[in-house]
Amino acid sequence: MITLYTAGTPNGHKISIMLEEIGLDYAVVALNLHESEQRENWFLEINPNGRIPAIVDHSNDDLNVFESGAILLYLAEKTTKLLPSDEKERSTVIQWLMFQMGGIGPMQGQANVFYRYAPEKIDYAIGRYQREVRRLYEVLNTQLEEHEYLAGEYSIADIASYPWVRGHAWSGVSIEGLGYLENWLLRVGERPAVKRGMEIPEPPRSLAKEEYIQSGRGMLV
């Protein structure tokens, strides 16, 4: 049994999608980020960085695992699913996983901050991060010209990038002209496990746009 500590964010959705794909039994603990539950002492014992997602694997001596990329690798290795055993193929998957972890995630996260949440609009910062996200999307699009999925076969690399790229409009980044990327979004998004994972945890009540932005600003403090 796995306990998943999560919230309705791209990084959280990576792990709920993965758990749905591999079919392990798991329980969900949804943290209220607006109330800073992720910074409470009980959770810091699970993830000292105070961020979601994190898991506890009760079948492995209550092992705590944090950082979404590390969790994806752990679960893939635990179940021998969605990560090839072949050395070269495995390396390719891990490279594209790290591309998301070190590129798309941080850059798109900053695009979200400056475009949606920052109390002061700084055009230079908004443009800088949106342009970099678009450039990274173009890299994905080029890779997908000759591959159905990022590393050839569907893998944790696709699971890592999908929730972020899916939110491109929220970040103010267009994917116009990136046809291979658009088709990949459709392919991944049609997977039953992806559909289920994107609904975990259950979405909160609908918020007005301005109310949502204000709540997001509270998470930056």
Do the strands 54-57 and 2-6 form a parallel or antiparallel pair, or are they unpaired? antiparallel
159 pLDDT above the threshold of 90: yes
Q: What domain range is 20 assigned to? A: 2-81
The CA distances from residue 114 to 21, 159, 194, 212, 213, in Å, are: 33, 25, 28, 15, 11
Helix or strand (DSSP H, E) at 11? helix 10-22
pLDDT(182) > 70: yes
- Least Cα distance to 83 among 188, 155, 161, 158 occurs for 155
Q: Where a domain ends, among 81, 105, 132?
A: 81
pLDDT digits (tens, 9 = 90+) for 36-76: 999 999 999 999 999 999 999 999 999 999 999 999 999 99
What integer pLDDT is reported at residue 180 of this predicted model?
98
- Could you give the number of structural domains in the chain? 2
Please tell me the predicted confidence (pLDDT) of residue 183. Answer: 98
Q: Say if residues 10 and 164 touch (Cβ distance below 8 Å).
A: yes
- Regarding whether 131 and 58 lie in a shared domain, the answer is no
Identify whether residues 64 and 121 lie together within a single domain.
no
